[in-house]
């Protein structure tokens, strides 16, 4: 990647937009910053590949999974060539790609990729290496969606290890807690799910703000937990408030708003 000041500034803007949850702005900036993928161009440098991962995360936030998959497959090939099969960055990209495939309901592919990433990361780096933890989180997420009643132990272990290594302020810790809440709700362990949901909302509000897309999603999750626990009136009041905020802040066509409205429809049924 050209290291000129204008490009550095553009990248900082793109990263800032991604962190604040403005996925559309981040994606537009990365699209300006990054060259089109060209097989004839050869392997890109590590810095450019890292920027492409961030671009893929912005596309993930917009639910543009096919475009994100294209970026991640390009990155994975480049990292394998440049860094090797077992480098932490390569393994983390494998996990990101498995996440993407799962979102496209390609669970067999996602599971195979996530298991390979976990096996390599655990063998080469150790089960508590940050890259291994990211891979384990992805595999636990795939297991939740494919064998939910067999996934609780794996998810709890992943949450415990991520928090032990990173603390509560890391994005993987938040994602792991989100997955645990979903699992507990599905298993009707609603008291613990509600407690975890309140804790996660507090963390996200403190670190990301009350109107960040991930905070709004966490509040929608709490509404679903309350509904599952039989607190229908409280759940409806909360999801109505979250839906109104999401419409106002993110817009009615934002993927997170659509997800919140889907939760609202479930609660209203």
* Predicted confidence (pLDDT) per residue in 99-148, tens digit: 999 999 999 999 999 999 999 999 999 999 999 999 999 999 999 999 98
Q: Contact at 8 Å (CB) between 75 and 92?
A: no
Q: Contact at 8 Å (CB) between 200 and 181?
A: yes
**Token output for 107:** 């669970």
Q: Contact at 8 Å (CB) between 201 and 220?
A: no
Given a cut of 60, whether residue 238 has pLDDT beyond it is: yes
Q: Contact at 8 Å (CB) between 65 and 93?
A: no
Given a cut of 90, whether residue 239 has pLDDT beyond it is: yes
In angstroms, what CA-CA distances link 116 with 85, 111, 133, 214, 220? 11, 8, 13, 28, 33
Say how many CA atoms lie within 13 Å of 116 toward its Cβ: 16
Q: Would you state the pLDDT for residue 1?
A: 54
Entry pTM? 0.92
Q: Cα–Cα distance between 7 and 9 in angstroms, integer?
A: 5
* Predicted confidence (pLDDT) per residue in 37-62, tens digit: 987 767 899 999 999 999 999 999 99
Domain ranges of the chain: 1-83, 188-269
CATH code for the domain defined by 188-269:
1.25.40.10
Q: Would the CA dihedral through 49, 50, 52, 57 be positive or negative?
A: positive
């Amino acid at each position: 990647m050209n290291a000129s000041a204008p490009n550095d500034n553009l990248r900082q803007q793109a990263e800032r937009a991604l962190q604040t949850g403005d996925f559309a702005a981040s994606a537009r900036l990365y699209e300006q910053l990054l060259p089109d993928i060209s097989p004839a161009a050869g392997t890109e440098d590590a810095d450019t590949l890292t920027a492409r991962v961030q671009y893929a995360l912005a596309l993930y936030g917009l639910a543009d999974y096919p475009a994100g998959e294209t970026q991640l497959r390009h990155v994975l090939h480049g990292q394998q060539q440049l860094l090797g099969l077992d480098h932490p960055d390569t393994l983390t990209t494998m996990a990101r790609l498995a996440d993407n495939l799962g979102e496209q309901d390609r669970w067999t592919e996602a599971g195979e990729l996530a298991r390979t990433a976990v096996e390599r990361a655990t063998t080469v780096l150790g089960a508590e290496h940050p890259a291994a933890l990211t891979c384990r989180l992805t595999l636990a997420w795939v297991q939740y969606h494919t064998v939910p009643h067999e996934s609780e132990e794996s998810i709890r272990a992943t949450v415990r290890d991520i928090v032990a290594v990173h603390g509560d302020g890391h994005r993987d810790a938040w994602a792991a807690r989100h997955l645990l809440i979903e699992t507990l709700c599905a298993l009707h362990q609603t008291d613990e799910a509600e407690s975890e949901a309140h804790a996660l909302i507090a963390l996200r509000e403190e670190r990301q703000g009350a109107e960040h897309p991930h905070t709004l999603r966490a509040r929608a999750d709490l509404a679903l937990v309350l509904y599952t626990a039989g607190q229908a009136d409280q759940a409806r009041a909360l999801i109505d408030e979250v839906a109104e905020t999401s419409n106002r802040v993110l817009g009615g066509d934002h993927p997170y708003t659509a997800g919140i409205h889907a939760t609202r429809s479930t609660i209203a049924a």
